[in-house]
Amino acid sequence: MLTRAPSVIAQVFLLLSIVLVIAIAVIQINQQQILSPGLKYGIVLDAGSSRTTVYVYEWPAEKENDTGVVSQTFKCNVKGPGISSYDSNPGALAKPFDDCLNKVKERIPVNLHKNTSVYLGATAGMRLLRLQNETAANEVFASIQNYFREQPFEFRGAQIITGPEEGVYGWITANYLMGNFLERNLWRTWVHPYRKETMGALDLGGASTQISFIPENPQENFNSTLQVKLYGYNYHVYTHSFQCYGRDEAEKRLLALLLQKSNNSSNVDNPCYPQNYNTSLTMKYFSSSLCTQSLRPANYHPNQLVNFRGTGDPGLCQEMVSLLFNFTACTDREECPFNRIHQPKVKGNFVAFSGFYYTINALNLSGHFSLADFNSSMWFFCSQSWTQLQFMLPKFEEIYARSYCFSANFIYYLLVHGYNFDAQTWPQIHFQKEVGNSSIAWSLGYMLSLTNMIPAEGKLIRLPLKPSLFAGLLVFLTATALICLLFLVYLCIVSRSRKNISRVEHVFIPE
């Protein structure tokens, strides 16, 4: 009886130790909390030729296949013109940034300011200024550098992005927002969309325009095909940027061309301006750019005023706009639409944003529509007088209202005769400004690309038991179980020994 009681106690302790070890291990694994390392923020300044726009982006610190899942949380337009306009007074460009930057500081938690990166990307306006006056361009960037040294954020520098970069970043933005790179499945996890086609991107800025898409055969030797890697997948994107074919620079070329063809250097008829509209512009306004250098008159006087009188003639406007393109430079029109630039045949759906969208919106069109509808709307708009336009436009601003007719004709020639869209493929173009709350612009694609270079932070795990306590309990319970097991083995050996002795004694008992 005395031997049996310790055996039962040892078995109970052994069983209890094993059960406790399993229970603690299960609780420690299943009840752990995975804590997100939080959000990261990034600021991108889109320094365009006509204005600067500040975007604030955020994304989880852990990433999907090395690329952050980025969303736009704030947008602010800096007052005043683009930074390239400050070439003669670079010290004055910092002050207009204050209003937007103060709002940005309120949007981002104070404790994250010093870890928030700021990137400034300058586009075609600064590309032109650098070609025209590199010293002035450097002084503009030096002023920006000095301004951001006094800000609480981590300034990663200002740079001029190339035309192809601007094009491919716009393509990335459009496809990211359309869900062509990532989507959530039934289990709410991010996956790559199955057999989903990407969209082409058409961007119209102030000084340049870009076309980007994946062609039918990406392996063809088009010099403008770039490889992009996002979320673990490679894409071969054709992209090209046309300098001086942005909306503003193209219109300056038209004004310079009209002056060149006019018999009167002081009063010039403009068929693209509305009827009864008159404005006086200095020669410097439209002839000082590199884009209009070849059209500059021999008797060029920067401050001389030229009066442009609107005649509202849609047919003549189209004729003059067509002269801005060199459609005879290539022998093979199929792969070389204009200006000796080789381009594969357009394929699939496209999204047209920035200047494309604003012009289409002014014509009271939206989304996608037929080429015939566009032409009729354009003709109707261009036939209106200046007084009538003031009642037609939802938001009336003179500098834009007077130019929408030109913009519409320019878009027609660029898309139809330039990129070779026709009546069948035109409806595949979607004119769009944003998706959800995010603007379609190259800046988001820029931010997505930059997150590839930002290391992901690991997830934080909160355990029910501290590692030291968990390890101590495991050691104690395992030791207890081993001691009980050894004790039971000992009792078993002792019990067998006693049985053997008892048998021997029974054999040798005398009868």
Tens of pLDDT, residue by residue over 446-474, are 888 876 645 445 444 555 666 777 777 77
Average per-residue pLDDT for the chain: 85
Q: Please name the residue that has the structure tokens 């980007």.
A: 212
Ligand-binding annotation for 209, yes or no, is yes
Of 58, 165, 166, 249, catalytic: 166
Check pLDDT > 70 for residue 130: yes
Percent of the chain past pLDDT 90, that is, above it, reads 55
**pLDDT computed for residue 460 by the predictor:** 43
pLDDT, one tens digit per residue, over 136-163 is: 999 999 999 999 999 999 999 899 999 9
Q: Cβ contacts of residue 356 below 8 Å, gap of 6+? A: 202, 203, 204, 411, 431
Q: How far apart are CA 449 and CA 229, in angstroms?
A: 9
> Mean per-residue pLDDT for 481-509?
71
Res 343: pLDDT = 87
- 3.30.420.40, 3.20.20.10, 3.40.50.150, 3.40.50.800: which CATH number matches 39-243+433-452? 3.30.420.40
pLDDT at 188: 55
What are the distances in angstroms from CA 431 to CA 131, 202, 359, 442, 461? 32, 9, 10, 16, 45
Asked whether the beta carbons of 314 and 405 are under 8 A apart, the reply is: yes
User: Could you tell me which residues are beta bridge partners of residue 462?
Assistant: 33
pLDDT digits (tens, 9 = 90+) for 267-298: 999 999 999 999 999 999 999 889 999 999 88
Mean pLDDT of 376-383: 96
What is the per-residue pLDDT for 264? 84
Supply 422's token pair. Answer: 């026709």
Helices (H), 4-111: 4-30, 97-107
Long-range pairs, 460-466, Cβ under 8 A, ≥24? 460/34, 460/35, 460/36, 460/37, 461/32, 461/33, 461/34, 461/35, 462/32, 462/33, 462/34, 462/35, 463/28, 463/32, 464/27, 464/28, 464/31, 464/32, 465/24, 465/27, 465/28
Euclidean distance between CA atoms 417 and 116, whole angstroms: 45
Measured from the Cβ of residue 493, the count of other Cβ atoms closer than 10 Å reads: 10
CB-based burial label for 266 (10 Å; 0-12, 13-18, 19+): exposed
**Domain locations in the chain?**
3-32+464-504, 39-243+433-452, 247-431
Residue 504 pLDDT more than 50? yes
For the domain bounded by 247-431, which CATH number is listed? 3.30.420.150
Whether residue 208 is annotated as binding a ligand: the answer is yes
- Listed residue (500, 495, 393, 426) closest to 10, CA to CA: 495
45's enclosing H/E stretch is strand 39-47
* DSSP string across 333-381: TTT--STT---PPP-S-EEEEEHHHHHHHHTT--B---HHHHHHHHHHH
Nearest-angstrom CA–CA distance, 418 and 336: 9
Q: Which pLDDT score is estimated for 13?
A: 73
Which residue pairs from 330-333 have beta carbons closer than 8 angstroms and sit at least 24 positions apart in sequence? 333/420
Most confidently modeled range among 54-63, 237-246, 467-476: 237-246
- Other C-beta atoms closer than 10 Å to the C-beta of 332 total 8
Determine the pLDDT at residue 337: 67
Give CA–CA dist 393/410, Å, rounded.
Answer: 19
Residue 207 among known ligand-binding residues: yes
394: confidence class by pLDDT, cuts 50, 70, 90: confident
Residue 376, pLDDT score:
97
CB atoms within 10 A of CB 394: 7
Helical axes 371-382 vs 404-412, angle rounded to 10°: 150
Q: What tokens does 292 get? A: 């209009």
Q: How far apart are CA 115 and CA 61, in angstroms?
A: 12
What pLDDT score was predicted for residue 396? Answer: 85
Three-point CA angle 183, 188, 190, nearest 5°: 40
* Res. 58: pLDDT tops 70: yes
70, pLDDT greater than 50? yes
The 10s digit of each residue's pLDDT in 165-211 is 999 999 999 998 988 887 666 555 656 676 678 999 999 999 999 99
Q: Nearest 5°: phi and psi at 238?
A: -80, 130
Please give the pLDDT value at position 457. Answer: 52
Asked if 164 contacts 112 with a C-beta cutoff of 8 angstroms, the reply is no
Q: Is 183 a catalytic residue?
A: no
226 strand-pairing partners: 237
pLDDT at 455: 45
d(CA 215, CA 110): 46
Do the domains 247-431 and 39-243+433-452 match in fold? yes
Angle of helix 247-261 relative to helix 314-322, nearest 10 degrees? 100
Name 41's bridge partners.
58
- What digits encode the pLDDT tens for the residues 308-359? 999 999 999 999 999 999 877 666 656 676 777 888 899 999 999 999 999 9
| 3 state SS for 285-320 | HHHCCHHHHHHCCCCCCCCCEEEEEECCCHHHHHHH
Query: Has residue 382 got a pLDDT over 60?
Result: yes
- Is residue 436 a known part of a binding site? no
What's the mean pLDDT in 373-377? 97
3-state class (DSSP) for residue 207: coil
Q: Tell me, what's the pLDDT at 35?
A: 43
